Amino acid sequence: MSVYHITLASMASLIWGATFLFTDAALQHMPPLLFAALRFCFVLPVAFVVPRPNIPYWIIALAGIFLGVGQYGFQFLGMAQGVTPGLASLLAHTQAFFTIAIAALLFREQIGAGQLAGIALGIIGFAVLVFEKDNSTNVSILFISILGAVSGAVGNNILKSIGGSVDILGVVVWMSIFVPIPLFLCSVAVDGWPTIQGALININLITILSLIYSAVFATIIAFVIWGKLLTLYPASVVAPFFLLVPVFGIFLSIALKNEPFGMARVVGCGFIFAGLIVSIVPRHSR
């Protein structure tokens, strides 16, 4: 992999890692489900220039429900209730474990020894986070974040079920058609119309910049970079760079938000990250 392409892969990971801080800033001023709905509304115009992926609409809709509504709905709910950006970036990536487990159940895929070890390390790490004495985050909120990862894993397997190469950018853009309305209705049910109306009327520059960053940089630019690299190199070469996302997320959260990371949290995150490495990095590259 050339230095230029390594830089691009690292840049895409940095963009995704920083997204959690932008989201955290926006959630200080806007209900989480409403912000998630608006995030996908900002992506919708891109459907006019990105071709629809060659898969049935019902699969695109299902992908939207699980990869959009479920994944980001639960993820943002967790962050709004106190899950810090760094921790959220790591918990979001536990979907790798659930993707493997669901694929084994639904598609009878064999789970290798390395993947089993990775899942076990992830479980230990999450248990440490749950039972850490200095935990400032309610355990139930951690599980809400994990539900987002589970939903993302289901969505991953929906895409996997169609087989062949999938235009990921096309899926993300076109599934956005099916995401905002369910999230908006859920926000109405959870937050109430007066709260939503007030948030929309009083929307500030921070929230607008966060929406633009999430739609333009995190969704369009990062996925274009990722898609380009996947056309030039095997997935086994590109995928390990995905592990940089929580690294950047945690580092930026500590540096810019003074996110607390006591020894127990360091150990818990270390187990989860080690599990991700064992699960994601191909055996022949280790």
Spell out the domain ranges in the chain.
3-285
> What six digits make up the tokens of 63?
């992908």
Q: What residue has token string 């290798």?
A: 112
pTM, 2 dp: 0.85
Confidence of residue 198 (pLDDT cuts 50, 70, 90): very high
**Is the confidence at residue 149, as pLDDT, over 70?**
yes
Rounded to the nearest 10 degrees, how much is the dihedral formed by the CA atoms of 23, 24, 30, 32? 70
Element holding 107 (H helix, E strand): helix 95-107
Element holding 235 (H helix, E strand): helix 235-238
pLDDT at 132: 67
Closest CA to 268 of 145, 139, 87: 87
pLDDT at 165: 66
How many CB atoms are closer than 10 A to CB 3? Answer: 7
> What six digits make up the tokens of 23?
């989201």
For the segment 255-264, the average pLDDT, to the nearest whole number, is 79
**Is the confidence at residue 44, as pLDDT, over 80?**
yes
Burial class, 260, CB count within 10 angstroms (exposed 0-12 / middle 13-18 / buried 19+):
middle
Confidence of residue 286 (pLDDT cuts 50, 70, 90): very low
Confidence of residue 285 (pLDDT cuts 50, 70, 90): very low
101 with 212: CB under 8 angstroms?
A: no
> What six digits make up the tokens of 16?
């995704």
